[in-house]
Amino acid sequence: MSQNGIYFCYNEIIMAKVYTKKGDEGTTADYSGQRILKDDVVIIVMGKIDALQSSIDAAILEGGAKHKPFLEWVQRKLWQTAGEISCADEKCVIDPITDGDLEKLEAYIDALGEPPKRFIRFNTKRSIAYNEARIRCRDLETSLVKLLRDKKVRPAAYAWLNRLSSLFFMLSYTTSKM
């Protein structure tokens, strides 16, 4: 159930090859196995979650150990949200985002200090890596609005993702050279 600390239930499918050819007609399968179009909002959102996860990996590598445990927690929560959105059953989504998680995220952001009083450009590799995660998070957030409206993403999960971009902004800010 846990692979490298990421809690999410994966299909136990043994693949003979990395490609299946099943998507050659523009469809893919969600977690439940249902075939859906690759331009469906759910698939687009899943790709944006994957892109955000990748940028968080880069930020962790660039950022050092200080924020690594918290960012790994963020990644676990993102995978749980991905499971919810992709129709995973209840046994697989074992740690969904809660109001308590939103409070934990806000407390971490607040502990990073005061935000800047003026516009700034990020100017270190570390701050740019965090800013890339912020940009991808904002992209994910705007893509989730339709799912929020259609009640396919919980308000607590959406609020948490909305706050997540603020975390990456503050990490960018606090690691920039002034």
pLDDT above 70 covers a percentage of the chain that reads 88
Is 0.75 surpassed by the pTM of this model?
A: yes
Residue 3's pLDDT band, with cuts at 50, 70 and 90, is: very low
What are the phi and psi torsion angles at 32 (to 5°)?
Answer: -75, -10
Sign of the alpha-carbon torsion through 58, 71, 102, 176: negative
Cβ count within 10 A of residue 150? 9
| Domains detected in the chain | 2-174 (1.20.1200.10)
pLDDT for residue 124: 94
With CA atoms as reference, report the closest residue to 98 among 53, 155, 167, 168.
155
Residues 6 or more apart in contact with residue 157 via CB below 8 angstroms? 81, 84, 96, 97
Q: How far is CA 87 from the centre of its chain?
A: 16
- Give Cα separations from 96 to 12, 23, 51 (angstroms): 22, 29, 20
pLDDT in tens, 4-24: 444 445 445 555 777 888 889
Three-class SS of the chain: CEECCEECCCCCCCCCCCCCCCCCCCEEECCCCCEEECCCHHHHHHHHHHHHHHHHHHHHHHHCCCCHHHHHHHHHHHHHHHHHHCCCCCCCCCCCCCHHHHHHHHHHHHHCCCCCCCCCCCCCHHHHHHHHHHHHHHHHHHHHHHHHHCCCCCHHHHHHHHHHHHHHHHHHHHCCCC
pLDDT in tens, 106-131: 999 999 999 999 988 999 999 999 99
Place of tokens 């259609």: 150
pLDDT in tens, 66-104: 999 999 999 999 998 988 888 756 666 788 899 999 999
